Amino acid sequence: MTDNTQHIDDGKAPSDSLIESPGLYPEPRKLLSENVVDVGILKTLVKRSTISVSQFDRESVLELYKLAALLEVTEIASSHPLDGKIVITAFFEASTRTRLSFESAVLRLDGKVISIPDGRTTGTAKGESLADIGEMLNAYGDLVVMRHTETDSIEQITSKLRLPLINAGNGTGEHPTQALADWYAILKWNPQLKGETAPEKRIHLGILGTPGSMRAVRSFLDMSLLFRQGIRKISIVSEMADPLGPRLENELKESGVEWQVTNDINDVLSDVDVIYMNSIAFLGDSYRTLDSRFKLHGGSKLKPGAVVLHPLARLDELSPSLDDTKHNLYFTQAHGAVFVRQALLIATLDRFDRLPKSIPISSRSGESQEAVLKHPTESA
Ligand code: CP
């Protein structure tokens, strides 16, 4: 069997990779080169459910990121953008980040949250259908964020739900807001990837995982194809014989991006610029680990400027010895999700008119005002 660990993980980061911060917390203002948010583009999201990455194009994602970046650097608490709105978080599968970051996003915008943190506390324990729960939720709030173990849970609940629904992970299906958060972190790290990128600046993207079976990895790959003009090559590293399935394989073929599948991390490790990894998948009726023999740690021979993303939770495939290195983009990825989700909530609930005037939006062109920055000592 191939030795995929190769380098010894002594629990410590190599001393030459300790950094002050740029890899850990890239500056969101790099995304604000034209910082007027085009509400016309974001209006396409109003009252719309977010179920799949396939609903987005690059233009709408970039506009959402512009708003997210402005929310990240602007004092907004006093504007109460979601005042009077109730968001229902309905989680029928475990979550640390997605539920809490959505709830934090709502509460920081002065909206209200009611929550099902564990589906077993609902009528499902008595055999109630998701369709009937959907009918009830229509009366209780303005938007639903749902995670469920079953891939067809979206179809089940939307048979009766009339509120906008944000898919927070459906079985082996999709996790679209995770993919939005993933690329928000990547573009903060390297804003050149927003548009046409010179060939020598394009990245080699390594994906450690099985996109065909893991919803976060699938959504990440789909979102990556929206930014294909910044990608030189995609390498999928998986122990599965067919990690993609026919749809993703076709999409990759049609994308024009060079791609390969390998079962040995050492084939690509020294060349990849961005590594996306995950190992936990909910398959059938339980959590399983896939591709967990591929491990990264402080001793892994990564390219000097490479960054690592992981949707988390992690097991031992991603060692904490990488946490304090310049390769760690995964904490930025998780932290930035709050602002991406705030931007999506504001758009879906059509609360652009409640944004502070310090956030420049297209319908207010002509009024150029300085943002009230959270960190006023930083230069814009
Ligand atoms: N990334 C992610 O979905 O994390 P949680 O499972 O903790 O929500």
Tens-place pLDDT, residues 164-203: 999 999 999 999 999 999 999 999 999 999 999 999 999 9
- CA of 246: how far to CAs of 172, 211, 212, 250, 253, in Å? 15, 11, 9, 6, 10
Mapped onto helix, strand or coil, the DSSP state of residue 167 is strand
Between 23 and 161, the more confident residue is 161
Helices H, strands E: what count in the chain?
Answer: 9, 11
**Cα separation, 186 vs 289, whole angstroms:** 25
Confirm whether 5 is domain-assigned.
no
Instruction: State the average pLDDT over residues 267-278.
Output: 95
User: Do residues 266 and 348 share a domain?
Assistant: no
Checking if the pLDDT of 27 tops 50, the result is yes
189 domain-assigned? yes
pLDDT of res. 24? 63
Q: Check pLDDT > 50 for residue 134.
A: yes
d(CA 105, CA 225): 27
For residue 235, CA distances in Å to 149, 184, 333, 340 come to 28, 21, 21, 27
Question: Is residue 3, in this structure, part of any structural domain at all?
Answer: no
Are residue 58 and residue 167 in the same domain, yes or no?
yes
Cβ(113)–Cβ(87) below 8 Å = yes
Same domain assignment for residues 236 and 90: no
Are 373 and 232 part of one and the same domain? no
Q: Say if ligand 1 is within 6 A of residue 313 CB.
A: yes
The predicted structure's pLDDT at residue 363: 61
Helix (H) or strand (E) holding 251: helix 245-255
The reply to whether 80 and 158 lie within a common domain is yes
Same domain, 215 and 92: no
Confidence of residue 285 (pLDDT cuts 50, 70, 90): confident
pLDDT, average across residues 197-214: 95
Residue 299 and residue 182 share a domain: yes
- Does 98 contact ligand 1 (Cβ within 6 A)? yes
Residues 138 and 191 placed together within one structural domain of the fold:
no
Q: Is 333 close to ligand 1, i.e. is its CB under 6 Å away?
A: no
Ligand 1 contacts CB of residue 148 (under 6 A): no
Q: What is the mean pLDDT of residues 304-328?
A: 95
Q: Which atom of ligand 1 is nearest to the CA of 334?
A: 1
Ligand 1: atom nearest CA of 94 is 6
pLDDT computed for residue 279 by the predictor:
82
Q: Nearest Cα to 221, choosing from 238, 199, 241?
A: 238
Greater pLDDT, 180 or 357: 180
**Is residue 33, in this structure, part of any structural domain at all?**
yes
Q: Is the peptide bond before 185 cis (omega within 30 degrees of 0)?
A: no
pTM here is: 0.90
Report yes or no on 320 lying in a domain: yes
Alpha-carbon span 41 to 304, nearest angstrom: 38
Centroid of ligand 1 to alpha carbon of 279 (angstroms): 12
312 within ligand 1 shell (Cβ under 6 A)? yes
As a whole number of Å, the CA-based R_g of the chain is 21
| Mean pLDDT, rounded, for 301-324 | 95
Question: Are the C-beta atoms of 58 and 119 separated by less than 8 Å?
Answer: no
User: Please, what is the average pLDDT of the chain?
Assistant: 88
Beta pairing class for 280-283 and 286-289: antiparallel
Q: What is the mean pLDDT of residues 365-379?
A: 40
pLDDT in tens, 93-114: 999 999 999 999 999 999 999 9
Q: What is the per-residue pLDDT across 231-270, written as a single tens digit (0 to 9) for each?
A: 999 999 998 889 999 999 999 999 999 999 999 998 999 9
pLDDT at 2: 39
Same domain as 136, residue 238? no
Specify whether the backbone of 209 is left (phi greater than 0), alpha (psi in -120 to 50) or beta. Answer: left
Instruction: Tell me the per-residue pLDDT of 317-334, one tens digit each, with 9 for 90 and over.
Output: 999 999 999 999 999 999
**All residues at 6 or more sequence positions from 223 whose CB lies less than 8 Å from its CB, including other chains:** 53, 56, 61, 176, 179, 180, 182, 183
**CA 312 to ligand 1 center in whole angstroms:** 6
Its domain, for residue 256, covers 178-333
Residue 133 clears pLDDT 70, i.e. is over it: yes
Number of domain units in the chain = 2
Query: Within this chain, do residues 279 and 353 fall inside the same structural domain, yes or no?
Result: no
| Cα–Cα distance measured from residue 254 to residue 72, given in angstroms and rounded to the nearest whole number | 36
Give the lowest-confidence range in 53-62, 273-282, 325-334. Answer: 273-282
> Are 109 and 193 found together in one domain?
no
d(CA 338, CA 104): 7
Q: Which of 312, 329, 332, 338 to mutate to test the pocket of ligand 1 (most atoms within 8 A of CB)?
A: 312
Question: What pLDDT is attached to residue 23?
Answer: 53
Instruction: Give me the pLDDT at residue 249, please.
Output: 96
Query: 289 pLDDT exceeds 50?
Result: yes
| Same-domain check for residues 342 and 327 | no
Q: Which residues pair with 234 in a beta bridge?
A: 205, 259
Tell which wins on pLDDT, 248 or 279.
248
Q: What percent of the chain has pLDDT over 90?
A: 76
| C-alpha closest to that of 287 among 214, 199, 359 | 214
Q: What is the mean pLDDT of residues 123-128?
A: 97
Number of Cβ within 10 Å of residue 372's Cβ equals 15
What is the distance, to the nearest Å, from the Cα of residue 107 to the centroid of all Cα atoms in its chain?
Answer: 20
* Cβ-contact 209, 276 below 8 angstroms: yes
> Is pLDDT above 90 for 5?
no
Instruction: Calculate mean pLDDT across residues 11-16.
Output: 43
**CATH code where residue 26 lies:** 3.40.50.1370
Residue 25: predicted pLDDT: 72
Q: Answer with the one of 333, 351, 369 that is the final residue of a domain.
A: 333
pLDDT at residue 8, as a whole number: 45
Predicted pLDDT at 340: 98
